[in-house]
Amino acid sequence: MARPLKIGITCYPTLGGSGVVATELGKLLAEKGHEIHFITHSIPFRLGKFQRNIFYHEVEINDYYVFRYPPYDLSLASKMAQVAKMQNLDLLHVHYAVPHAICAYLAKQMVGEELKTVTTLHGTDITVLAQDESLKDLIRLGIHQSDAVTAVSRDLIRETQELLDIERPIDLTYNFVDKRIYYPRECIGLRSEFASPDEKIMMHISNFRPVKRVGDVVDVFAKVSEKIPAKLLLVGEGPELSRIQWKIQAMGLQDRVHFLGKQDDVAQVISLADVMLLPSEKESFGLVALEAMACGVPTIGSQAGGIPELVAHGETGYLAPIGDTALMADYAIRLLRDPVLHGVVSKACLQRARTMFCNDLITAEYESIYYRVMGIDSDIPVPVCE
């Protein structure tokens, strides 16, 4: 049995898929006996109460008058090196290439080659930032200088290699959900606050950015609600929220749409839904679709990015070309009108989430990568998820 590791984790600690996955991974690793040190500018919002083997180190930004902008990147790199030295860390696992992989590289230069670095690519660090010519070389450097690189979908690996001309191997490590948290829940009382017994509930959860195409969510719902009594629950906040509120008013849907705002714990909220909508323009994985799947809720989404790797079309949900709201609405109507079909798809969702995207399986994959870069024989058994 390989020895437990001391691991530093850096992520964006606010609401978003990468921060959620990084935090949940850290918690699961701590449960397995590893010592986890979160190095971020604020406490990750999913970290919750005190847990054994988990420590938090705040990155304080020096706002000296000579700097036009506070040098967060330099402060982070310095803090990484400081924690690595004081806590004798084995490795840094950073989520997002920019700036975190670069900061980890700088920290390694300060500490020494014995400090290993693992970078996980989550999506916009490649699909958006790598489109910027001024950042390409920086992202490429961060990837090449990491001891291991992982990505959350095959599509993201392909895009990374094509955009940045990367030849080094990139490990596929899908996102995951903790099956102890995400499972179908009985919530009849809570459901009655939003919909009557004869109404279906459609749901969308996101950061309300343009890439999420929340306007398409409203259009799909409008088409469905013409045929089926339904309510729409919108969860989250972001720059598009005001525009979406205006659109809903203009379409006369305000009595059928509920805004739930930002929710730290969405597991129970998801169980309210009959269908999850994810019509994104870009989506390297689509964590919310997996969270829905684990709760037995089918997803109607787009064929963007890594979504087809997650949602098995015709089995655990339905996918349509980006922007094809008419087809998405047709799929939703088909599901919502047929209780037998919905039950079959819901059962398939649970099976797929609990086997392919099981937290035990993905955590073991990360452990194997850690021990590999450390040069330690681990022989970690592959968990059987069911």
Instruction: Output the DSSP codes for 329-369.
Output: HHHHHHHHH-HHHHHHHHHHHHHHHHHTTBHHHHHHHHHHH
Sheet strand arrangement including 54-58: 54-58, 35-40, 6-10, 91-95, 116-121, 148-151, 171-172
Q: At what angle do helices 287-294 and 339-355 cross, to 10 degrees?
A: 110
Report whether pLDDT(68) > 80: no
Report whether pLDDT(1) > 70: no
- Residue 380 is predicted with a pLDDT of 76
Torsion-angle region of residue 52: left (phi > 0), alpha (psi -120 to 50) or beta? beta
- Residue 130 is predicted with a pLDDT of 60
Q: Do domains 6-176+358-374 and 188-355 have the same CATH topology?
A: yes
Average the pLDDT over 361-366 and give the result.
96
Report whether pLDDT(134) > 80: no
3-state helix, strand, coil in the chain (%, to 5): 45, 15, 40
- Residues counted in the chain: 386
The structural domains of the chain, with segments of one domain joined by +, span 6-176+358-374, 188-355
Average the pLDDT over 209-220 and give the result.
97
- Residue 378 is predicted with a pLDDT of 77
Average the pLDDT over 358-365 and give the result.
95
- Residue 258 is predicted with a pLDDT of 97
pTM comes to: 0.92
pLDDT band at residue 15 using 50, 70 and 90 as cut-offs: low
- Asked if residue 134 lies in contact with residue 128, where contact means CB atoms within 8 angstroms, the answer is no
> What is the signed CA dihedral for 144, 147, 153, 156, rounded to 10 degrees?
-10
What does the pLDDT look like over 299-331, one tens digit per residue? 999 999 999 999 999 999 999 999 999 999 999
What does the pLDDT look like over 281-300, one tens digit per residue? 999 999 999 999 999 999 99
The CATH classification number of 6-176+358-374 equals 3.40.50.2000
- Residue 142 is predicted with a pLDDT of 94
Question: 364 vs 119, 258, 379, 382, CA distance in Å?
Answer: 17, 39, 10, 7
Q: Which of 83, 156, 144 is closest to 115 using CA atoms?
A: 83
pLDDT band at residue 65 using 50, 70 and 90 as cut-offs: low
Report whether pLDDT(49) > 80: no
> Which CATH number is correct for 188-355, 2.30.40.10, 3.40.640.10, 3.40.50.300, 3.40.50.2000?
3.40.50.2000
- Tokens 């670095």 correspond to what residue? 117
- Residue 129 is predicted with a pLDDT of 64
What DSSP state is assigned to residue 60?
P
Provide the pairing of β-strand 91-95 with 116-121: parallel
Q: Helix or strand or coil: residue 40? A: strand
Share the mean pLDDT of the chain. 92
Average the pLDDT over 171-193 and give the result.
92
Q: Which amino acid is at 182?
A: Y
- Residue 188 is predicted with a pLDDT of 82
- Asked if residue 271 lies in contact with residue 295, where contact means CB atoms within 8 angstroms, the answer is yes
